[in-house]
Amino acid sequence: MQVTIKGSAGDLEGWLAQPERVPGNGRPGLVIVPGFPTDSGGGANSFRTLPDLADRIADHARMVALAFAFRGLAGSEGHFSLDGWRRDLHSAIDYVRKVDGFDGSLWLLGFGTGGAVSVDVAATDGNIAGLVCVAAPADFQDWASRPRELLSHARRCGAISDPDFPSDFGRWAKELQGVSTVASAQRLAAAGTAMMVLHGSNDNAVPSLDARAIADAHGHADLRILEGARHHLRHDPRAIATAIGFLDRRGRPATLG
């Protein structure tokens, strides 16, 4: 069902899928985290296929699954900033933790930029059971070195629609330097957080070496490099089946891929 999540910059669009519930038993929760749109006007469409994925995961992995759109994407209010997206994910996590029937075990499934944000937020939250990180960058240094290009792209794709945003460009750009997926993965390992890292061997946006660096930093991550796959693994049946399989096996020790 369609839901509204209260975020720090306004309402966030969401879709909540719940499996059939056995009386007396709770269900683990999952937040599905979208990536950054790549095409002009893509921000409006970035959320479009995620409700179907939430429904599928609820059915197959028996999880309370929330898909949501970051600020600036789809029907969510606000404008893109990396720190803002981190706050939005915290808001989505808080929403799932209040859902009736949630058993306290929370997982994340993040794509691209959303995967990197998921790793960062999981490391700061301290109470995430595990996550699947899909096609995520090892850091945001590429963006940090060209912040004005990123700002222009964010305007083209619709993630920023206010011509006066950000009011403080320097602060907005500095946020890009403060997130390292590799460093956060190291903290997740120390906390015992389960992790799968999924990537395409032919990723044309983020090299597969980033996935190996993230998995190596964690030390016990289940690393899967999908032969011939490109960046948009949300539309690769192998990637989705692999992610759902990992979530369905939740609680079992991960093995190196």
Q: What is the DSSP letter of 227?
A: T
200 close to 233: Cβ distance less than 8 angstroms = yes
Amino acid present at 162:
D
Q: What is the pLDDT of residues 33-75, one digit of tens each?
A: 999 987 665 555 567 889 999 999 999 999 999 999 999 999 9
Pairing status of strand 130-134 against strand 102-111: parallel
What is the rounded distance in angstroms from the CA atom of residue 72 to the CA atom of residue 92?
Answer: 15
| pLDDT attached to residue 25 | 74
CA 97 to chain CA centroid, Å, is 17
Backbone angles phi, psi at 104, to 5 degrees: 100, -10
Which residues in 34-52 are b (16+ Cβ under 10 Å) and which e? bbbbeeeebbeebbeebbe
Spatial distance between the Cα atoms of 153 and 63, rounded to a whole number of angstroms: 35
Instruction: Enter the DSSP assignment of 127.
Output: -
Give the chain's residues under pLDDT 50: 252-257
Q: Which class does domain 2-20+27-248 fall in?
A: alpha beta
Q: Decide: 221 and 196 in contact? Cβ < 8 Å.
A: yes
Q: What is the pLDDT of residue 255?
A: 39
Q: How many other C-beta atoms are found inside a 10 Å radius of the C-beta of residue 2? A: 9
Distance of CA 143 to the CA centre of its chain: 18
pTM of the shown model: 0.93
127-141 CB burial, b ≥16 within 10 A, e <16: ebbbbbbbbbbbbbe
Residue pLDDT, tens place only, 114-146: 999 999 999 999 899 999 999 999 999 999 999
User: Domain coordinates of the chain in residue numbers?
Assistant: 2-20+27-248
Sheet holding 2-7, edge to edge: 2-7, 10-17, 64-68, 27-33, 102-111, 130-134, 194-200, 222-226
Q: CA 68, CA 84: separation in Å to the nearest integer?
A: 14
For 224-251, letters b (16+ CB in 10 Å) and e give bbbeebebbbbebeebbebbbebbeebe
